[in-house]
Structure 1
Amino acid sequence: MLLLLLLQISGSCLWLGRSEVVTSFESSCPQFFFKETPPNEALEPNSPARICQRYKNQYYFATLYDRDRRIPVYSAYLYQPGSGKRPKTWMVEPQLMGSVYPSTMEREWTLLNYFNVTSEQLSKSQAVLKDYKNLTGLNRGHLNPSGHHPDNSSRTATFTLTNIVAQNEKLNGGAWKNYEQQTMIKETQGCATTYVVVGAVPGNNYIANGRVNKPSHLWSGVCCEMDNDERKAWAVIAENDRNNIQLITLGELEEMLTKLYGRDQVSLFDRDCPRE
């Protein structure tokens, strides 16, 4: 009996050690950041959650999540586009409810039916599918897009609501889509490794009866390590009510975000990534 108890305690510790909601990106999933350096604290919300996005026992990207507004602040990933079908399964992050829940993203149905979770518990901790129903002029916009990943598992991992914001549907299907699918291919020519941090600036409006924030802007910063040991960078920003994006320098994006957030100077990458 004592041996069984010790094994149960040991198993619980291992389970918690695999936690997806982590205290530090640097110690848990640093590989998604240039020189293993996440953005500085100038973007951090009042109630942050750092998520190493796990699917099928593997990390695929990192997300800083705003628990209060129920939207991601940013998602960080490696740009590795590949061909394949667009996934259809939407998932949520169980550990936003607590560390006793699974350490890998799951479907809402699975949590409600197999883990004794109530709809109230789940929806209190994060956005759920119901929040994105019956939207007008908006849809579920990926920060980290599935098309920037090489295989079915990595693309499916982006279909978590912790990677989603309410995005203007014309922007999502227009200028932003063109950037993700065309401009990125052009700009990454010669890149050996491409680090991306894509985010959303909180706005003054909400959907789902005030539960989920509608961002005022969407943005993306890119740091590219080239084959010749040189580096280049670029960025984009878009207002979330217009079908238009601005292609700018990384330094310009950081200055714009510093003004939009109104806090300390924003730094998205290690200083060795060029700002001009």
Structure 2
Amino acid sequence: MLLVLVLLQVCLCCLQLGSTEVVMSFENTCPEFFFSNTPPSDALKPDSAARICQRYKNQYHYATLYDRNQRIPIYSAYLYEPGDGKRPNTWMVEPQLMGSSYPKEMKTEWTLMTMLNVSQDEIKKSQAVLQDYKNLTNYNRGHLNPNGHQPNPDSKASTFTLTNIVPQYEKLNGGQWNNYEQSVMATRTSDCAKTYVVVGVVPGNNYIAKGRVNKPSHIWSAACCVVDNNHRRSWAVIAENDKNAVSLVRLGELEEQLTGLYHKGTVSLFHSDCPRN
């Protein structure tokens, strides 16, 4: 009995040591990416959820709720701070999805395979890999947290992880969704001292990569704008992931739609101090 207790204590310690980047709670590790330190409600949480405080070059850049089974992010939460800089082109993965003994920062597949002797099959068990997104028809890699909303080269590079992308309808990604990301957001945030953003998806019934990676039915985005200590605004958009059209809606309206689409309880994307109208 004593030996069993000792082994249990060792296992718990290992789990705690590994819970730094793939975390038990966003509130305890990277709350700064959520308005009033409050993540969305658990109505968005998948059965096989992994909370990732996205870490690159020893710094957190945003937070992602990842679905291990569907191999897509359910949402990424970040601060809208657009800055100049080149678009990165190096894709990474999240080592700690494989286990707590792996590095705490995102790495390229090449680094894991050559430096740590990890096979691609081992990586594929826990997440999507670049091979999953090859030879797609009408769909491409769609960022939830886009690099254009980040302020510097490191934060932009951190968005190029496969835990931050989904199969997105190509015409939508390069069309009306891109217009929302680049133009509408810039206009609507002109008087915001700080803007909190959550971008997410609704898992669909179709897949890519021979059933490995889910193709979302909808993609959505919500923003909470802090003008000053006494004034806040919000807005949201939602798009079907097979059409080049984006609907601008109230935050409360998006939450109502998502409550119906997820079927897991009432969806709340921000702390109640963010207005729903």
TM-score (normalised: structure 1): 0.94
In the alignment, what sits opposite 1:152?
Answer: 153
Question: SS at the partner of 2:78?
Answer: strand
Distance in 2, Cα, partners of 1:19 & 1:132: 29
Extract structure 1 runs of 4+ deviating beyond 6 A.
Answer: none
Q: Which residue of 1 aligns with 2:94?
A: 93
Following superposition of structure 1 onto structure 2, how do residues 106-255 of structure 1 map, counting pairs within 5 Å? 106-227=107-228, 229-255=230-256
What's 2:61 paired with?
Answer: 60
Q: Deviations over 1:126-178 (max 9, x none)?
A: 00000000000000000000000110000000000000000000000000000
Q: Deviations over 1:207-240 (max 9, x none)?
A: 0000000000000010010036300000000000
Verify the 8 A CA contact 2:53 2:62 in the aligned structure 1. yes
Percent of aligned pairs with the same residue? 67
Residue identity matched to 2:190: Q
What amino acid is the match of 1:155? K
**Equivalent residue for 1:4?**
none
Task: Please give the alpha-carbon distance, in whole angstroms, between the structure 2 residues aligned to 1:83 and 1:128.
Answer: 28
How many Å separate the matches in 2 of 1:139 and 1:152? 23
Q: Give me the CA root mean square deviation.
A: 1.4
2: distance between equivalents of 1:102 and 1:60? Answer: 17
* 1:6-25 equivalent positions in 2, closer than 5 A: 16=17, 19-25=20-26
TM-fit CA distance, 1:63: 0.1
Query: Structure 1 residue 20: deviation in Å?
Result: 1.0
Q: Which moved more, 1:134-143 or 1:228-237?
A: 228-237
Name the SS for the 1:236 alignment partner: strand
**Corresponding residue of 2:5:** none
Q: Report the alpha carbon displacement of residue 85 of structure 1 after superposing the two structures with TM.
A: 0.4
The offset of 1:19, in angstroms, is 2.5
> Does the aligned pair in 2 maintain the 1:19–1:95 contact within 8 Å?
no
Deviation at 1:264, TM superposition (A): 0.6
1:152 and 1:198 map into 2 onto residues whose CA distance is: 21
The gaps in structure 1 that reach 5 residues or longer are 1-8
Q: Distance in 2 between matches of 1:18 and 1:98?
A: 10
- 2:20 touches 2:29 (CA, 8 Å); kept in 1? no
- Deviation readout 1:39-81 (Å, 9 max, x if unpaired): 0100110000000000000000000000000000000000000
Q: Which amino acid aligns with 2:252?
A: G
- Amino acid of the residue matched to residue 55 of structure 1? Y
SS of the residue aligned with 1:125?
coil
| CA displacement, residues 105-144 of structure 1 (integer Å, 9 cap, x when unaligned) | 0000000011121111100110000000000000000000
Distance 1:234 1:127 in 2: 31
Report the TM-score when normalising by structure 2.
0.93
Question: AA paired with 1:240?
Answer: N
Tell me, what secondary structure is at the counterpart of 1:59? strand
Aligned positions, number: 265
Residue 73 of structure 2 is matched in structure 1 by 72
The answer on whether the counterparts of 2:18 and 2:99 sit within 8 Å (CA) in structure 1 is no
Could you tell me which amino acid in structure 1 is paired with residue 44 of structure 2? Answer: L
| Structure 2 CA distance for aligned equivalents of residues 241 and 179 of structure 1 | 17
Distance 2:63 2:85 in 1: 22
Aligned to 1:267: 268
d(CA) in 1 for partners of 2:272 and 2:49?
24
Describe the shift of the 1:18–1:40 C-alpha distance in structure 2 as closer, same or farther (beyond 3 A): closer
Shift of 1:16: 2.8
Q: Secondary structure at the match of 1:191?
A: coil
Q: Distance in 1 between matches of 2:51 and 2:165?
A: 15
d(CA) in 1 for partners of 2:247 and 2:120? 40
Could you say which residue in structure 2 is the equivalent of 1:39? Answer: 40
Q: 1:210 corresponds to which letter in structure 2?
A: G
